[in-house]
Amino acid sequence: MDRSEQIQISIREAAQQDIDTIIQIWRNAELIHKPNGRDRKENLHSQLRLPQICVFIAAIKSKDVATIMVSHDGRKGWLNRLAVLKNYCNKGIAQKLIAHSENWLASQGLEIYATLIDDPNDPSMTVFMKAGYTKHKDIVYFTKKKHTEV
């Protein structure tokens, strides 16, 4: 029996009233976020209204302990912002959220899933490799930002 079977994990779709909970989980997990940019509360409220974006929250005994943001562009699904409260790490919660997210993306007609992880972040890389993701060393990622907070 793996750790995720030893505890009861429930997963629900986040609602507008969950924004503060999501941000608190990010902070506790020390997930870098941009509260004055792309992670502004009003941006998160808007994103939750979009059909191609879904945020899931995992709970144990009614306590919210983890979250993940999932999105797609119609071609590829993206798993982002995976965060688990420090006291709940290594209990299989991240794997359950990843699997749940992949199921949602599959229900949207997508067959390829991706994530971007800043290097170094060995714990996140390990979680996704355990879930069957392949690390590509030959991909160069470019961004263009309107300002540093996005």
The per-residue DSSP string of the chain comes to --HHHHS-EEEEE--GGGHHHHHHHHHHTT----TTTTT-HHHHHHHHTSTTEEEEEEEETTEEEEEEEEEE-SS-EEEEEEEE-GGGTTSSHHHHHHHHHHHHHHHTT---EE---PSS-HHHHHHHHHTT----SS-------SSTT-
**Which of the following CATH numbers is that of domain 3-130: 3.40.50.1360, 3.40.630.30, 1.10.150.120, 3.90.1150.10?**
3.40.630.30
Model pLDDT, residue 149 = 82
- What pLDDT digit, counting tens, does each position of 72-129 carry? 999 999 999 999 999 999 999 999 999 999 999 999 999 999 999 888 889 999 999 9
